[in-house]
Amino acid sequence: MTQAMYPGTFDPITNGHYDLVRRAAVIFDKVVVAIAANPGKTPLFTLEQRVDLAARVLADLPNVTVKGYSGLTVEFARQNDLSVVVRGLRAISDFEFEFQLANMSRHIARDVETVFLTPQEQFTFISSTLVREIAVLGGNVSEFVHPIVEAELRKHRRV
Ligand SMILES: Nc1ncnc2c1ncn2[C@@H]1O[C@H](COP(=O)(O)OP(=O)(O)OP(=O)(O)O)[C@@H](O)[C@H]1O
Ligand SMILES: [Mg+2]
């Protein structure tokens, strides 16, 4: 049985993230969406809120669970018996950082493998950062996030 983790900040979960999880859930027996506390990024949503939103959005995928974590991603993988780390590539711009991260992870934990998935084309330009910025400024993000997430984002509107 191959269990994978999909780590990220998920601030908040987008349709791009969903597309990736759905693909991973077909390939692996179990997928843990692992939400990093990531205080350095000063997230808009608390860790609890991010976990709760992701869990609700991903509820229709039976072999997917959502967990929050702090600390090293590869440590979380080891502790939870997850042998694969799934990451997403939207464009070449993601590649450099993701390549560096994957190599560093391998250096720290040789037994954990990183695999990359790409989303369907219409999701390649979606990032949580852009979604947050648009929502905070009163823009419409209904194409990019689940209605549950859209409703939560509306509470952060500044205009
Ligand atoms: N639309 C998307 N399609 C495919 N992969 C994605 C998409 N958005 C994020 N990812 C991938 O998901 C993983 C976790 O991403 P993360 O939580 O940083 O989301 P993000 O949208 O990049 O948010 P932020 O803008 O806050 O960095 C990363 O590997 C990232 O490349
Ligand atoms: Mg990112």
Q: What pLDDT, on a 0 to 100 scale, did the predictor assign at position 139?
A: 98
Q: What pLDDT, on a 0 to 100 scale, did the predictor assign at position 51?
A: 98
Omega cis (within 30) before 7: no
Average pLDDT of the chain to the nearest whole number: 97
Q: Are 128 and 11 in contact (CB under 8 A)?
A: yes
- Three-class SS state of 92: helix
Q: What pLDDT, on a 0 to 100 scale, did the predictor assign at position 79?
A: 95
Q: What pLDDT, on a 0 to 100 scale, did the predictor assign at position 152?
A: 98
Active site residues: 17, 41, 90, 128
- pLDDT > 70: what percent of the chain? 100
| Tokens describing residue 88 | 């997403």
- Residue 159 confidence (pLDDT) above 90: no
pLDDT single digits (tens) 68-116: 999 999 999 999 999 999 999 999 999 999 999 999 999 999 999 999 9
The 3-state secondary structure of 7-66 reads EECCCCCCHHHHHHHHHHHHHCCEEEEEEECCHHHCCCCCHHHHHHHHHHHCCCCCCEEE
| Matching residue, tokens 């990531």 | 38
Q: What pLDDT, on a 0 to 100 scale, did the predictor assign at position 111?
A: 95
Measured from the alpha carbon of residue 14, the closest ligand is 1
Distance 13 CA to ligand 1 centre (A): 9
Atom 14 in ligand 1: which residue has the minimum CA distance? Answer: 8
Cα separation, 51 vs 33, whole angstroms: 9
Mean pLDDT of 51-65: 98
125 Cβ neighbours under 8 A, 6+ residues apart: 90
pLDDT category at 39 given cuts 50, 70, 90 is confident
Measured from the alpha carbon of residue 120, the closest ligand is 1
Atom 10 in ligand 1: which residue has the minimum CA distance? Answer: 88
Cα separation, 5 vs 8, whole angstroms: 10
Distance 64 CA to ligand 1 centre (A): 18
Cα separation, 20 vs 105, whole angstroms: 20
Q: What pLDDT, on a 0 to 100 scale, did the predictor assign at position 20?
A: 98
Ligand 1 pocket residue status of 117, Cβ below 6 Å: no
pLDDT single digits (tens) 128-154: 999 999 999 999 999 999 999 999 999
Ligand 1 pocket residue status of 44, Cβ below 6 Å: no
Cα separation, 132 vs 128, whole angstroms: 6
Q: Is the pTM of this model over 0.85?
A: yes
Atom 22 in ligand 1: which residue has the minimum CA distance? Answer: 127
Pocket test for ligand 1, best of 99, 127, 143 (most atoms within 8 A of CB): 127
Q: Is 73 exposed, middle or buried (0-12, 13-18, 19+ CB in 10 A)?
A: buried
Atom of ligand 1 nearest to the CA of 116: 29
